[in-house]
Amino acid sequence: MYTKLTPEETADIEKQIDHCSLIERSKTMLKGLIAGQTFLRDLMENLVNSSGYKRQKIINELAKILEIDHKSQTNNSNQDKAEPADNPSNDTSKEREVVDEAAKNNDSSHNDGTQKELDLPENPQKKHPKRGNENFQSVISKLHVHEALKPGDKCPSCLSGKLYPFREKVIPILIGRSPLIFEQHRLQILRCNACGQLFEPKMPKEIPVSGFSTSAAQATMILLHYKIGVPFASISTLQKAYNCNVSPAQLWEAIELAAFAMEPIYNELKQKATNAELYYTDDTPARILSYYANNKKNREKKGKNKAPEDRVGMYSTLIIGCTPIKKEIYLFYHGRKYAGENLADILANRDKLLKIPIQMKDASSMNVPAEHPVSEAKCNAHAIRKFKDIRHLYPKWVQEILSRYGAVNKIEQNLTKKGATHEEKLAYHQEHSLPVMEEIKKYVKSLIDDKKVEPNSSLGEAISYFLNHYEGLIAFCKVEKAPFDNNKAERSLKFIIRLRKTSMFYKNEKGCKVASIMQSILCTAQEAGINVFDYLMAILENADKVKKNPADFLPWTFEQTINAKGCAYHQDQCLT
């Protein structure tokens, strides 16, 4: 039977416990039980008399004390109340919608009216939880304690309980400061008045006595310029606003020095990419000032298939190598070579015993690697875009094409969301997507054959593109692991397009090489899901070890190397 204790009764019981013959640990436990009972009684009374936000807050506090995950239990109870998913009237899976839409647009000639659904787990509903205080990663963490109370003191409110550490309230505060800060280290040099010998104090290892910048400053400049796209001149202007002047030449010298330390990682990534099973490739224009002097002479040279040094065009190439161990390697190149030629350089060192790789690309002939066989997969997003651009000119015919193409695209998206394996995706596409692609081919061919569309019109050109590259466009239905589109490379190219828009150009080949090193490492590290700044710091602070064993410092191995070998690693280099 529950007995409600008054503060006087509680104090009397504690005195009796103090004078009994129990050991100290047992006395402490008994007092704790009494204090806990009093606390829970007061909490429950407040819970009964409260409502709304205050009630929910008390429930949360009670759940923490009793170590109950009440939120997950609430979610489970709601799921139990939901109607079963196998009820046809309540089946709202996206997969069924996709199949129904594809079936609606298919002819009865290739569809018997029944289609199988892929036996995959249901895609969980997207949740957007609130971001907690623990997600704020602060550089400086300070603990503030109570000015008068400490753990173990008697509660000034009830005068019966004792205080204990309950939790920490975290308040994140943004602190503004200059991206780069100069530190002045003055060395007191002593000299003997008899022999003239000089004595100089030793400096900490993290301070570059002969250099210009710390590894933290170099990592900051690399991220500002190559990841965010801030030009050197803009960084210099920002520094002037803080009265901490750094010239663009000084910034370049520090980054060039960092590139020398990071080049072994870049070479190791290229080596790892030679044995990838899938390559995404794409090009975008580039501007290299030192090449413009030769462009006038190169224009006078006639003929096709010119050597790279005889061309006028300049290109930035991205090659994404997807390895069998599910690692994606991003390689950037800047110069006169096409994407196909850069890929050929990678495939030249490929193991001859490996299977022919898949290459996802657009229809440009510049993407073909000469003398190296690949399984071509062409981008369906390019084909869809060609029809979308002229939808306002031919609304009826283009809508027929896009509705079918949209059904295939939905199937691909649904399979990706459900996490289907490559084997399951291929089988499902062969059963459901390939008939729709054949239907599109039959329909667009009839528009040309029946002379409804002029072959030289914009719609005729889009149809010709689809028919001419049809085998590459349906590679995702025939080749395992072949992607549906080249959007991964298209999105990643924005990484260098942003820098091209702000900085306008590279000065010479050295600038191109430094940019290739930085962009490749940054993009690969970002895709690996690691802290990019910490990764750059680890490379720069262990340059000697990186040079000897670059494989130990790849984005997916450097943390194990740091922990196992005790390498230098300073996450915070604020020395003031």
Quick one: pLDDT band at residue 566, thresholds 50, 70, 90? low
Q: Reply yes or no on whether the pLDDT at 567 is more than 80.
A: no
In a domain, 59, yes or no: yes
Q: Which of 2-6, 79-83, 174-178, 469-473 has the lowest mean pLDDT?
A: 79-83
**Whole-number Å distance between alpha carbons of 518 and 508:** 16
pLDDT digits over 484-495, tens only? 999 999 999 998
Q: Reply yes or no on whether the pLDDT at 85 is more than 60.
A: no
% of the chain residues with pLDDT over 90 = 48
**CA 91 centroid distance within chain:** 33
In a domain, 84, yes or no: no
Query: Position 104: which residue type?
Result: K
% of the chain residues with pLDDT over 70 = 82
Query: Among the three residues 132, 167, 202, which one is the final residue of a domain in this structure?
Result: 167
Predicted pLDDT of residue 121: 45
Q: Is residue 85 within 8 Å of residue 122, measured between CB atoms? A: yes
On whether the pTM is more than 0.95, the answer is: no
Look at the alpha carbons of 163, 165, 167, 170 in this order and tell me if their dihedral is positive or negative. positive
**Whole-number Å distance between alpha carbons of 366 and 338:** 6
Phi then psi for 361, rounded to 5 degrees? -155, 175
Predicted pLDDT of residue 52: 64
**CA 535 centroid distance within chain:** 14
Predicted pLDDT of residue 360: 95
In a domain, 406, yes or no: yes
User: Encoding tokens for residue 267?
Assistant: 């070479």
Q: Reply yes or no on whether the pLDDT at 133 is more than 70.
A: no
**Whole-number Å distance between alpha carbons of 228 and 502:** 10
Q: What average pLDDT score do residues 350-362 get? A: 92
Beta strands in 401-497 (DSSP E): none
Q: What average pLDDT score do residues 8-26 get? A: 81
Closest CA to 341 of 313, 375, 312, 307: 307
Q: Is residue 557 within 8 Å of residue 533, measured between CB atoms? A: no
Tokens 């413009």 belong to residue: 292
In a domain, 402, yes or no: yes
In the three-class reduction of DSSP (H, G, I as helix; E, B as strand; rest coil), residue 516 is classed as helix
Query: Among the three residues 112, 133, 167, which one is the final residue of a domain in this structure?
Result: 167
Q: Which residues are within 8 A (CB) of 461 and not within 5 positions of it... i.e. 6 or more apart?
A: 386
**CA 117 centroid distance within chain:** 32
Look at the alpha carbons of 485, 225, 271, 422 in this order and tell me if their dihedral is positive or negative. negative
Q: What average pLDDT score do residues 174-198 get? A: 83
220 or 23: which carries more pLDDT confidence? 220
Predicted pLDDT of residue 77: 44
Rg over CA atoms, the chain? 33
pLDDT digits over 200-257, tens only? 888 777 676 556 788 889 999 999 999 999 999 999 999 999 888 889 999 999 999 9
Q: Is residue 171 within 8 Å of residue 134, measured between CB atoms? A: no
Q: Reply yes or no on whether the pLDDT at 41 is more than 90.
A: no
pLDDT digits over 410-453, tens only? 999 999 999 899 999 999 999 999 999 999 999 999 999 999 99
Q: What average pLDDT score do residues 94-122 get? A: 45
Q: Which residues are within 8 A (CB) of 238 and not within 5 positions of it... i.e. 6 or more apart?
A: 178, 179
Closest CA to 470 of 542, 405, 383: 383
Quick one: pLDDT band at residue 3, thresholds 50, 70, 90? low
Predicted pLDDT of residue 112: 45
Domain count, the chain: 2
Q: What average pLDDT score do residues 526-549 get? A: 92
Sort strands 198-199 and 375-378 into parallel, antiparallel or unpaired: unpaired
Closest CA to 110 of 516, 377, 424, 440: 440
pLDDT digits over 373-404, tens only? 999 999 999 999 999 999 999 999 999 999 99
Stretch (H or E) spanning 328: strand 328-335
In a domain, 438, yes or no: yes
Phi then psi for 453, rounded to 5 degrees? -125, 130
User: Encoding tokens for residue 393?
Assistant: 């000119």
Predicted pLDDT of residue 209: 56
Q: Reply yes or no on whether the pLDDT at 34 is more than 50.
A: yes
Phi then psi for 284, rounded to 5 degrees? -150, 150
Range of the domain at 66: 1-77+150-167
512 or 196: which carries more pLDDT confidence? 512
Predicted pLDDT of residue 415: 92
Predicted pLDDT of residue 114: 37
Q: Reply yes or no on whether the pLDDT at 71 is more than 70.
A: no
- Give the other-Cβ count within 10 Å of 18's Cβ: 11
Q: Is residue 338 within 8 Å of residue 366, measured between CB atoms? A: yes
Query: Among the three residues 464, 485, 506, which one is the final residue of a domain in this structure?
Result: 485
In a domain, 504, yes or no: no
Q: Reply yes or no on whether the pLDDT at 64 is more than 90.
A: no
Q: How far is CA 284 from CA 105, 333, 339, 384, 515, in A?
A: 37, 11, 9, 20, 15
User: Encoding tokens for residue 315?
Assistant: 């290109």
Predicted pLDDT of residue 32: 78
